[in-house]
Amino acid sequence: SKKAGKAKGKQSNLRTPIVVVMGHVDHGKTTLLDKIRGTAVAKGEAGLITQHIGATEVPLDVVQDFCGSHFGKEIEIPGLLFIDTPGHHAFTSMRSRGGSLADLAVLIVDVNEGFQPQTIESLSILKRFKTPFVVAANKMDRIGGWHTTTNAPFAKSLKVQSERVSEILDTRLYELVGELYKYGFDADRYDRITDFTRTVGIVPISAITGEGVPDLLMILVGLAQRFLKDNLQLTATGPGVGTILEVKEEKGLGTTLDVILYNGEFFAGDTVIVGTSREPLVTKIRALLKPKPLAEIRSEERFLPVKHVSAASGVKVSAPKLDNALAGSTIRVVSNPDEVEALSLELKSELDAVRIDTENEGLIIKSDTIGSLEALVGELKARDIHIHYADVGPISRRDVIRAAAINDPLLSAILGFNVDILPDALNEIQKTNVPVFSSDIIYTIIESYERWVEDQKNKMEQERLEAVIRPGAVRILPDCVFRQSKPAVVGVQVIGGIVRTQVNLMREDGANVGVIKGIQAHNENQGSATVGQEVAISIDGPTVGRQIHEGDILYVNIPEKHARIVELELKPKLAEDEREVLENFLEIKRKKDPFWGR
Ligand code: GDP
């Protein structure tokens, strides 16, 4: 009875296509899955619905029933397997041979809000994995004046709407078409499309009222049958291969794996090899567990042991030694002990293909699964951001030390996707001030890192400009020679710009006279003096009466490198007096060398 859904009139052995729902938070992923689940349970005859761990199977009969129309003989797929955990997190966890395990995706967009950050992120992931998808334009029932026809196909639902309502809907849909175009996709309302290989279908739905949901299911079945047939030829028999969706602690069972079995079959007692962050582990399936049908939940036990499952299927695997198993990696039946070595290498290469460990300057990347690591690394590479080291696992002290050792101040940082920071890493972070950008949204991680880079750049630029020696000039006041030499101390008026201690002074004929050692006003030392101020300065070098005289004008002798920055970068920001001093200063310099500072 377990396989009743598949046995019903299906001659072909196409496996059930796996569907993931993605989209921005609150746009209706969970509501849509609930609707589909509810429908599957409500419409299904007893025994037809196969309960899954982490997934809901909607047999073809249920889809047909819901749609009120029948597919022709050409439809051979047994139904659709929806992954229950929505979001790109589940999507990226499910990998098989470098691609995504999801055969199809539904990108759900709140039609009243349009594209949001996670919509864009989902789209970019779908694009990278080349996963076919449809857009569900959700919450159309929120349009003011909407008349609900519960669970109706879109055409039927549209018929009872006022002209105004259908116009608003059309406008919103066209806005979505425009957004999708911006990201490189041709799209249109699904019923206006003839070629689904070239145009992305937009299905207007309400996950709450169920309107348009029959159309969505129908489109998915059609897409699967037409474009995925070759990918679905994997058989439901033979040694099982699955992807680990989650590593979960269960009361009384210890560590278990929630697995989507996508090829072949598992038997209780099978020897399996399982991916970890280090050496793959070999263990024996102690129990295969399915959820208990709702009606039977009386005792504490939520799971029903089964002896056998076949693809595609969601199942909980209980086995010894699973603590180090890695979400996103593979579980595979070992039918012959001789295979262990080859399979082990194959599993290790899955992670090695995504891991990065270089000597180059770059960021440290940590992520929770192989798939999410791949997605984050992919997004960074697309932006030409360098990576020093990327691996699966929590942020450790060693990661912080590695980040701190990076010389480029803009790359000395850690990016984490959905990972913890270990306690000793926290200590090291406080010591080194290495910034950590972490989130469970790739977009947020990259955005906050890029904002930080921008801030750092501005700060460094500001520091650079602050270090530049700026123009300034003083006139030596009459009767204000306090000391002749070693150092000479004279009263001056700043006639333009700024003078600071440690800068050199130059005469109007271009001769250097010495360094300002100190500046005093009212017997107080100060670091600088600005235009208009009268101060006493001590100059190391000249003797009053020989190199300098009362009434002389002395310029800050700006070094050539600095003069170039002042003239090229700061000039528009200079005050009138500063600009005048600069021009006079450059004229003196260029009298001797016309190319000075150019
Ligand atoms: P998720 O974060 O994408 O899983 O979004 P949820 O499914 O949790 O939905 C977020 C909110 O939007 C909930 O309050 C839902 O009841 C509401 N919602 C979802 N779909 C619809 C819809 O089609 N129509 C209306 N009116 N509300 C919806």
What is the b/e burial string over 524-539, where b = at least 16 CB atoms within 10 angstroms of the residue's CB?
eeeebbbbebebbbbb
The CA R_g of the chain, rounded to the nearest whole Å, is: 36
Nearest CA to ligand 1 atom 20: 28
Predicted confidence at residue 41, as pLDDT, reads 67
pLDDT category of residue 131 using cuts at 50, 70 and 90: confident
Predicted confidence (pLDDT) per residue in 379-390, tens digit: 899 899 999 999
Q: What is the per-residue pLDDT across 350-369, written as a single tens digit (0 to 9) for each? A: 888 889 999 899 999 999 88
Instruction: Decide if pLDDT at 598 tops 60.
Output: yes
- Is this complex scored with an ipTM above 0.90? yes
The answer to the question of whether 27 is labelled as a binding residue is yes
Q: Reduced to 3 states, what is the DSSP secondary structure of residue 464?
A: helix
pLDDT score for 429? 96
- Hey, what are 94's tokens? 């499910």
Mean pLDDT taken over the chain: 88
What pLDDT is recorded for position 50? 64
Tokens standing for residue 139 = 């919450």
| Banded pLDDT at 226 (limits 50, 70, 90) | confident
- How confident is residue 65, by pLDDT bands cut at 50, 70 and 90? confident
Q: Is the pLDDT of residue 144 over 50?
A: yes
Mean pLDDT of 43-47: 53
Please tell me the least confidently modeled range out of 11-15, 234-238, 267-271. 11-15
Q: How far apart are alpha carbons 34 and 590 in whole angstroms?
A: 79
30 lines ligand 1 (CB under 6 A): yes
Please give the Cα distance from 222 to 75 (Å, whole number). Answer: 8
The residue behind tokens 């399996």 is 272
* pLDDT band at residue 49 using 50, 70 and 90 as cut-offs: low
State yes or no: pLDDT of 562 exceeds 80. yes
| CA-angle at 36, arms to 34 and 39, nearest 5° | 105
Pairing of strands 330-333, 271-274: antiparallel
| Higher-confidence position of 103 and 334 | 334
d(Cα 328, Cα 180) in Å, to the nearest integer? 29
Which of 54, 80, 60, 82 lies closest to 72, judged by CA?
60
Residue 27 has pLDDT above 80, yes or no: yes
Q: What is the model's pLDDT at position 410?
A: 96
Is the shortest distance between the CB of 139 and ligand 1 below 6 Å? yes
204 C-beta closer than 6 A to ligand 1? no
| Percent helix, percent strand, percent coil in the chain, to nearest 5 | 35, 30, 35
Q: Which two tokens stand for residue 469?
A: 């020696």
Q: In a 10 Å sphere around its CB, with 0-12 CB exposed, 13-18 middle and 19+ buried, how is residue 454 labelled?
A: exposed
Beta strands, E only, 46-172: 55-59, 79-83, 95-96, 99-100, 104-110, 133-138
What are the pLDDT digits (tens) for 91-100? 666 655 555 6
Neighbours of 448 (CB within 10 A): 15
The residues near 490 (Cβ < 8 Å, ≥ 6 apart) are 476, 477, 480, 481, 482, 536, 537, 539, 544, 548, 550
Distance 31 CA to ligand 1 centre (A): 5
Look at residue 234 in the predicted model and tell me its pLDDT.
57
Instruction: Judge whether 504 and 514 are in contact, CB under 8 Å.
Output: yes
Report, as an integer, the average pLDDT of 91-115: 79
Nearest C-alpha to atom 9 of ligand 1 is from which residue?
28
pLDDT tens string 443-461: 889 999 999 999 999 999 8
Q: Which pLDDT band holds residue 44 (cuts at 50, 70, 90)? A: low
Residue whose structure tokens are 């799209």? 187
| The Cα angle at residue 154 between residues 148 and 157, in degrees rounded to 5 | 30
pLDDT score of 8: 39
> Which residue(s) pair with 536 in the sheet?
491, 520
Straight-line distance from the first to the last Cα atom of the chain, in angstroms, rounded to the nearest whole number: 87
Q: What is the model's pLDDT at position 441? A: 83
Q: How many CB atoms lie within 10 A of CB 16?
A: 27
In the structure encoding, which two tokens stand for residue 156, read together?
A: 């039927």
Least Cα distance to 342 among 285, 257, 273, 264 occurs for 273
Report the C-alpha gap between 207 and 201 in whole angstroms: 17
pLDDT band for position 1 (cuts 50, 70, 90): very low
Burial class (CB in 10 A: 0-12, 13-18, 19+), 564: middle
CB count in 10 Å sphere of residue 7: 10
pLDDT at 133 over 60: yes
Considering only CA atoms, which of 96, 94, 78 is closest in space to residue 86? 94
Which atom of ligand 1 lies closest to the CA of 138?
A: 23
Binding site membership of 396 for ligand 1 (Cβ less than 6 Å): no
Above pLDDT 90, what percent of the chain? 63
Confidence bin at 52 (pLDDT 50/70/90) = confident
C-alpha span between 361 and 411 (Å, rounded): 7
Q: Which atom of ligand 1 is nearest to the CA of 209?
A: 23
Asked whether 12 and 76 are in contact (CB, 8 A), the reply is yes
pLDDT in the model for residue 179: 96
> Would you say the CB of residue 484 lies under 6 angstroms from ligand 1?
no
In this structure, the strands spanning 436-439 and 414-417 are: parallel
Lowest mean pLDDT among 246-250, 264-268, 505-509: 246-250
Residue 350 beta carbon below 6 angstroms from any ligand 1 atom: no
| pLDDT digits 0-9 by tens, 381-418 | 989 999 999 999 999 999 999 999 999 999 999 999 98
Best residue for ligand 1 mutational test, from 20, 30, 31 (most atoms within 8 Å of Cβ)? 31
Name the band, by pLDDT with cuts 50, 70 and 90, for residue 206: very high
| pLDDT score recorded for residue 460 | 92
**Confidence band of 371 (pLDDT split at 50, 70, 90):** confident
Q: Which atom of ligand 1 is nearest to the CA of 33?
A: 7
**Is 87 known as a binding-site position?**
yes
One-letter amino acid at 393 equals: G
DSSP-assigned states of every residue in 284-326: E--EEEEEPPGGGTTSS--EEEESEEESSEEEEEE-TTGGGB-
Q: What is the pLDDT of residues 504-553, one digit of tens each?
A: 999 999 999 999 999 999 989 999 999 999 999 999 999 999 999 999 99
Centroid of ligand 1 to alpha carbon of 134 (angstroms) = 18
Q: Is 52 annotated as a binding residue?
A: no
C-alpha to C-alpha distances, 148 to 37, 64, 67, 216, nearest whole angstrom = 21, 22, 17, 17
Count, residues in the chain? 598
Residue 36 has pLDDT above 80, yes or no: yes
Whether the CB-CB separation of 115 and 64 falls below 8 Å is answered with: no
Q: Please give the Cα distance from 6 to 565 (Å, whole number).
A: 76
Check if 28 has its Cβ closer than 6 Å to any atom of ligand 1.
yes
Provide the pLDDT for residue 86: 62
- pLDDT value, residue 408: 95
